[in-house]
Amino acid sequence: MKLFNYFWLKFVKVNVENPAALRFIIDNDLYLLDKDKTFAAVSTATVAKTPVIDFKYLGNNKKSFLILVHYSNKEFIDDEHLTALQNILKRKELNMDDVVIMNMAAYADLTFEQVITYFKPQKLLIMGKHALPQNIQTLSLNQPGQLDDCRSLFSFSFDEMMSSTENKKAFWDQMKTL
């Protein structure tokens, strides 16, 4: 649709006194190539730029496995919890090169689509309700599911697991299948 609108504006003479009025004629965003920014009717319109998000995370994502955590007082994850997570990963024959750990506390406004688009995970582990990104489909606690093309598990945070043997067992039973 955007391509059609672009060509419509380019080749059909549009008499618009105020370029801002174009948004009432065309309901889509306009994206211009550098060479087309001189087109008189559109050149004074604001060109929208998609902001680039600079994510900070641990790991190298070699196996497309994304782990979302939430620690408001840490850059990534608590050291004790990281050790426990590395031991869990080792039991699944994975290491830090294979996964990405991202602290969602630093990205409160981040949507699920942004996360998936950036990391392109095949597996997703969400540790705790506070680690859920915005606009994510409903996931049942400790029930593996499919989100887009991604096997997903929403489970307990490490704080919830460290104080409960039942929570640890429930988590591990599902983590083995992910």
Residue 51, number of CB atoms within 10 A of its CB: 6
pLDDT number for residue 43? 47
Query: Could you tell me the strand order of the sheet in which 123-127 lies?
Result: 58-59, 99-103, 65-69, 123-127, 150-155, 145-147
CA–CA–CA angle 55, 153, 60 (5° rounding): 35
DSSP letter string, 31-86: ---GGGTT-HHHHTSPPP-PPPP----EE--TT-EEEEE--TTSSS--HHHHHHHH
Quick one: 6 and 68 in the same domain?
Answer: no
Quick one: 161 and 86 in the same domain?
Answer: yes
Max Cα separation, the chain?
A: 71
Among the ranges given (46-55, 68-77, 100-109, 161-170), the one the predictor scored with the smallest mean pLDDT: 46-55
If DSSP codes are grouped into helix, strand and coil, which group holds residue 138? coil
Quick one: 88 and 165 in the same domain?
Answer: yes
CATH code of the domain in which 155 resides: 3.40.470.10
Strands (E), 70-169: 99-103, 123-127, 145-147, 150-155
145-147 and 150-155: which strand pairing?
A: antiparallel
Residue 13, number of CB atoms within 10 A of its CB: 6
User: Is 49 inside any structural domain?
Assistant: no
Is residue 104 over pLDDT 80?
yes
Using pLDDT thresholds of 50, 70 and 90, give the confidence band for residue 25. low
Quick one: 27 and 90 in the same domain?
Answer: no
User: Is 65 inside any structural domain?
Assistant: yes
Quick one: 37 and 69 in the same domain?
Answer: no
Q: What is the pTM of this model?
A: 0.69
Q: Where in the sequence is the domain holding 6, given as residue range(s)?
A: 2-43
User: Is 18 inside any structural domain?
Assistant: yes
Q: Summarize the confidence of residues 12-20 as an average pLDDT.
A: 55
Quick one: 137 and 69 in the same domain?
Answer: yes
Quick one: 13 and 85 in the same domain?
Answer: no
Quick one: 76 and 147 in the same domain?
Answer: yes
User: Is 50 inside any structural domain?
Assistant: no
Average pLDDT score, the chain: 80
Quick one: 64 and 39 in the same domain?
Answer: no
Using pLDDT thresholds of 50, 70 and 90, give the confidence band for residue 42. very low
Structural domain count of the chain: 2
Quick one: 89 and 120 in the same domain?
Answer: yes
User: Is 52 inside any structural domain?
Assistant: no
User: pLDDT digits over 126-137, tens only?
Assistant: 999 999 988 888
User: pLDDT digits over 44-88, tens only?
Assistant: 555 555 566 678 889 999 999 999 999 999 889 999 999 999 999
User: Is 53 inside any structural domain?
Assistant: no
